[in-house]
A and B are shown apart, each in its own frame.
Chain A
Amino acid sequence: MSKQDQKKQKPNPKEDIQQEKLQAVLLLDSYGNKFEPLNSNRAECLLPLIGNKTLLDNNIEFLLENGVEEIFLFCTRHHGQIRNHIETMKWRQVVEIHFLYNFTCRSLGDAMREIDAKGLIRSSFILMTATGLISNMNLKSYWENHKQLCKTDKNAVMTMLCVNGQKDLHFPNNEANTLIVHNMAGKILHYDKLNMDSKHCYPNKTTMPFSILDKAYNMRITPVQHSVDSANAKFKFHHQSEQLNATSGYQGGSADTVLHLNTIQNRFDLIESQIYFCNPYVLHMFTDNFDFKTMKEFVIGILNDEEVSGYTIYIDQIQSKFASHFGQINSLNSYFHETMKLLQRVDMVFDYSTRSKYRSLADSINAFAAKSAHMSGNHSKSMRNVFVEHNARIGKNCHLVNCFIGASCTIGNNVKLTNSIVWSNSRIGDNSVLNGTFVASCAKIGTGCRINANNLFADYCKVKDGTCFTDRAVYYTKEVEKRLRSKSSCCVETDESCDENQEAVELAKRIENLSVGVNESNYMKFFVTQKGMIESDDEDEFDLDEGDEDGEEALSIASACSEAHSTSNDTSKNGHFMVIRSQKRNFSESDWLNEWNSEGQSTDGSDESSEEDFDRNSSDNELELGEHVEETETFFVEVVDSLKRAIRESLESQNIVLEINGRKHANGIQIDDTCYYLAKAIFYLPIATSAVDRNLTLKEQQDGNQSLDYLKSLKVYLEKLAPVIENYFTKTKQSQRLFLESLQDFFLNTKLHSDQAPNSFLDTYYVKTLLHMFNECEFLDESIIIEWHQQQTALLDKSKKSDLSLLDTQQRVQASKILLKEHSIEKLKPFIEWLKEDEEDED
């Protein structure tokens, strides 16, 4: 930091003298998951490219070539890694670099707010993401245009650079499809992201606000432009023509309005380059509006507010020149293909000074090998577009076409590599054939492997000898998988269960046929089926091998089903690997599933293991309730507070009831929920009050018997609150049932204190005593308890009998809950029997 501070101080006097420096903000995170699983243990911006470079290096050099003199790097994750990298790089000395980081940023908006808070940027700047593009374009003229714009239109805050490109039909990317409506000066009138219809690859209907016509009115148009573009505009407009005609009719549309349509350009074909020329206001705007998370939201927000604030956003279209290159990276696929393209673009990868050392293989076409690379035999005839980094070893008779081989890799004899990328420290055994494969660092591919389809092997993957892959997939190790899951970004299944089962069976068959012998079987596998469905499954062999030892882990992987994210048939034929990623993320549900499965296993075995999970379940349970949770949660807290106060000040029961009703109305809680949470609050009271006293009576607590404490204090509270409880819980049977349920849930989910052993074992003991006590206090009806118990046991039996696979998700969730309850109910059995006997006796 001290170094940076010094550097910051130095240029300050200069800035006054010189004209303002060209500044750039480079965001190092994509705030997405596009590089999963490769980004699990390295920063996204440090993903390697060809020529001993990373994405970050490439983009910084891109900025340098465009005359940027000061770069602000903003980083959220892996900042240590990035910092170390920067210190070693040679561009460190050439340009002034400020390194900012903040761990808490979750989105582009957060990052912008953070940068604004630092207050380092005072002039216009270039905003770019380090992971979004590879390019060698010349931005100077566009920057001049932007400056000019700012002079003519004082309200212009931003210029988006767009590339005119055809939509990439091979990798339909839902995020990339934008509709941009702009006028002749490039001012954006309307901006919308479109959902592509996967079958037809053109957007569904969109609605455009009528205000864009008004905006078009305000612009002065020269007649020349008008005539030139009228034909163009008409052509481009036919998608929306019906709708716009309708709207113009609505305004009493004259011919005028329709004529002005010609001044509007409707563009589907623009790809945002993720390069933005921003005024410093942009940062302030992000700070003012906390809703802005992404650039899209920002643009839409600014456009919506245009009438109020008057700020405008422009686009500029990049004209492609000879040998200029622009590649967008928005998925693993595009990353792979951009790297492949770079193999054929020496001029982009190497700066001129490093180039010569790679030219030792002049005979073959575009083959570059670092001098320290070791190659046995003569490869000149079988190499084309090959880059070999230093210390790589390549065996005899290798056939390498369109390959990148990273530093310190070892390639065996007779290996055939085509269209493949191998990162550093990987090994490929003899006689293997790889096509279109992406092997990340430290991976091992055995001898005689055949990988025909496009596969991606993430870091530390190991593939057994003689394995054959024909499906396109992404493989990664379990460690990575765990990490991903801990980030709660695991996939979710939403499919119908029957289908899924069939699929699973199919997949199991296919695994056998493929004879995938994956070493140590630490892999998650994703399959792309013929239907274009993505399905995940673990190895069957895996279950057999290790199922007993760490069954829980195995099951958790088994249950992490991926959501079937349908892609069109076209993509599955293209011969690119699919990137598997679910669109929806619903963590709690998948967790429930995990629990469900692990419960299903462990109920047969030991009860204790399942009990350990109760606490987690309770939290999940609340998660699942979603928005509702917040209301009930506040209600619960409020009720606890008011009850505490009531007891302390010994208020009248009437007043307490009134207060609770007031809270109920304030939070909009249903009567059932009120009963449930009130009961919960009452049971919680002893804990809440003891927590308050805790600091004072620490010794007592250590000595004293906790359970007795709880019971005693609860008895006291129950006596005091008896009228309230009678008011709520004795009137209907339903309320009594709720009371019982609440009681049960409470004891299942609570461990009294964190320092106490997490066992609900004791709690079940409480249930007995409490119920007994309730009979004495006569809050509850015996018959209802018995009825409730029967109901519960019936449900339990049903869920035991029914096949798990036949249940849909909702039922599963319920069933898993019931399973939790199972043992508490078993504990209740003697008590219930006693009650029954009692009843019969009375009869």
Chain B
Amino acid sequence: MLTRIAKTDYEQELRKFLNELKNRELNSSTQIGLAAVRLIKKLIGESKWTTAGELLEILKKEEKSLFECIPNETNVRNIWKRVIKIIKDESVVIEQRNQTQIDSLQGNLFQSNICQNLSLSHNELKPIMIEALSEIIIELESAVASIASQSVEHIYENEVIFTMGKSQTVEAFLKYAARKRRFHVIVAENAPYLDGHEISSNLQKAGLDVTLITDSAIFTIISRVNTVIVGTKSIFANGGLKAHTGTHSLALAAKHHNIPLIVCSSLLKLSPEYFANTNNLPELLPCDDVLSSNFQPNLTVLNPSFDYVPPELVNLFIFNTTKTAPSYVYRLIREMYAIEEDEDEFF
């Protein structure tokens, strides 16, 4: 990040963004998403392009260099992909309209060629892009609320709900339901970061009946539970989860007792990538988060950054507007992202 001297606003923004990611100042996926949108806005606003094709080239180039640096930030990449898709869609629509005005028959004939030929001019595309980006921003900002509003359909009176670790979406989800229903929440503390403590005290303040348990007690407790609701860091294209470590064992325990596992997530987290390519293997987090610094350093400590939960353990995804089973996630991905054949790294 220091190699480039920050000349333009975009580069300054980029530097700031990477720094914030590194220092973990952006503590929720919404914030990361918003920062990424701001970044793209700067890039589109500043770089010189005349046609949609040029803009696409710029975006792809930046995407490549950026995600070599931050291969684990799938959510940022998702937004990037979505913007690319929007440009493609918009240009196709406009081209079609222009063509049909002149000659509808010819236009239909050469439609496939026109799609490739992204010659939409700067002046036309720019307002569309600004509009589209602000739509994404609105979507990001409202995601938590719109997910939470669906909670009443899934949580019923006197149920026992289980969750693990801190997730803003899940917290809002449960709080919303608590306005209309009375239910019990059991929270696993999610060692070693123990953010379960925070969410349980927050829920307690909201008037919920909360029990905090250790991660190791999950299997013992889970037989009493009606529904497991968890958040996730990202969703792979097959419907698998990239979630807090320990979620896999929780999901297996839930499966064992046939308890439904519901995942709350904004659409932003839906990624066109599949698990286990070189970019998204779990990396190891610092061991001093697990052990006190005074501990014997010769001890090997593994602190992986996430768990992969296979899609067959998930029962339902609750997105901003829709609910989907894991087997239908691919459809959403088709809608949201432009999958190109040359980008074989995903498949």
Contact = CB atoms under 8 A, between A and B. Distances in A.
A353 B288 CA distance: 25
A136 B23 CA distance: 8
Interface stretch (A166-174, A254-262, A497-505, A658-666): A166-174
B297 A323 contact: no
Given A323-B286, A352-B18, A355-B69, A384 B1 contact: no
A341 B1 contact: no
Interface residues of B, number: 36
B153 interface: no
Contacts of B19: 65
B284 A353 contact: no
Interface string B61-83: 00000001111000000000000
Contacts of B27: 322
Contact of B24 (A323, A352, A402): A323
B294 interface: yes
Contact of B2 (A91, A165, A385, A575): A91
Given A322-B193, A325-B288, A436 B2 contact: no
Interface string B1-35: 11101100000000000110111110100000000
Contacts of B5: 93-94
Given A168-B294, A322-B193, A352 B286 contact: no
Interface stretch (B44-52, B98-106, B298-306): B298-306
B299 to A, nearest CB: 10
Interface string A129-162: 0000000101000000000000000000000000
Given A347-B22, A436-B298, A352 B1 contact: yes
Contacts of A384: 300
A815 to B, nearest CB: 49
A168 B297 CA distance: 13
A341 B297 contact: yes
B278 interface: yes
B2 A138 contact: no
A90 B286 contact: no
B274 to A, nearest CB: 15
Given A65-B19, A90-B2, A351-B1, A337 B286 contact: no
| Among A166, A365, A574: residue with most chain B CB under 10 A | A365
B84 interface: no
Contacts of B69: 352-353, 355-356
A401 interface: yes
Interface footprint category on A: 35 or more
Contacts of A341: 286-288, 293, 297
Contacts of B128: none
B292 A166 contact: yes
B145 interface: no
Nearest to A366: B284
Contacts of A170: 294
Given A166-B294, A341-B288, A362 B3 contact: no
| Among B1, B27, B292, B302: residue with most chain A CB under 10 A | B1
Interface string A417-439: 01100000000000000001000
Nearest to A576: B297
B275 to A, nearest CB: 14
Interface in B113-142: none
B321 to A, nearest CB: 32
Nearest to A340: B297
Contacts of A647: none
B224 to A, nearest CB: 32
A68 to B, nearest CB: 13
Contacts of A436: 298
Contacts of B18: 351-352
A138 B24 CA distance: 10
A436 B296 CA distance: 12
A344 interface: yes
A818 interface: no
| Among A90, A346, A352: residue with most chain B CB under 10 A | A352
Q: Is the interface of A mostly helix, strand, loop or mixed?
A: mixed
Contacts of A64: 2
| Among B5, B23, B68, B294: residue with most chain A CB under 10 A | B23
Contact of A65 (B23, B284, B298): B23
B281 interface: yes
Contact of B283 (A168, A340, A346, A419): A346
Interface in A369-397: 384-385
A574 B296 CA distance: 8
A789 interface: no
A685 to B, nearest CB: 67
A353 B24 contact: no
Contacts of B24: 321-323
A61 interface: yes
A352 B70 contact: yes
A65 B298 CA distance: 31
Contacts of B300: 384, 401-402
B278 A165 contact: no
A360 to B, nearest CB: 9
A345 interface: yes
B3 A353 contact: yes
B294 A325 contact: no
B3 A90 contact: yes
A138 B16 CA distance: 13
Interface string A434-463: 001000000000000000000000000000
Contacts of A352: 1, 18, 21-22, 69-70
Nearest to B23: A138
A344 B2 contact: no
Contact of B285 (A169, A323, A340): A323
A198 to B, nearest CB: 17
Contacts of A169: 294
A365 B302 contact: yes
Contacts of B294: 166, 168-170
Given A61-B2, A366-B283, A419 B298 contact: yes
A322 to B, nearest CB: 5
B65 to A, nearest CB: 8
B2 A325 contact: no
Interface string A516-545: 000000000000000000000000000000
A61 B23 CA distance: 13
B289 interface: yes
B23 A345 contact: no
Contacts of A166: 292, 294
A362 B281 contact: yes
B5 to A, nearest CB: 6
| Among A136, A323, A341: residue with most chain B CB under 10 A | A323
Nearest to B193: A322
Nearest to A385: B284
A344 B2 CA distance: 23
Contacts of B283: 346, 366
Nearest to A67: B19
A325 to B, nearest CB: 7
Contacts of B281: 362
A347 B1 CA distance: 13
B278 A362 contact: yes
Nearest to B288: A341
A355 B68 CA distance: 8
Nearest to B298: A419
A65 B292 CA distance: 26
Contacts of B288: 325, 341, 344
5 contacts: A91-B2, A322-B24, A344-B287, A356-B68, A356-B71
Given A351-B2, A418-B298, 12 more contacts: A65-B19, A91-B2, A136-B22, A166-B292, A323-B286, A323-B289, A347-B22, A352-B21, A352-B70, A353-B1, A366-B284, A574-B296
Please provide the 10 A-B residue pairs with the shortest distance between their CB atoms, ordered closest to farther.
A352-B69, A356-B68, A362-B278, A345-B286, A366-B284, A344-B287, A351-B1, A352-B18, A353-B1, A353-B69
Interface of B: 1-3, 5-6, 18-19, 21-25, 27, 68-71, 193, 278, 281, 283-289, 292-294, 296-298, 300-302
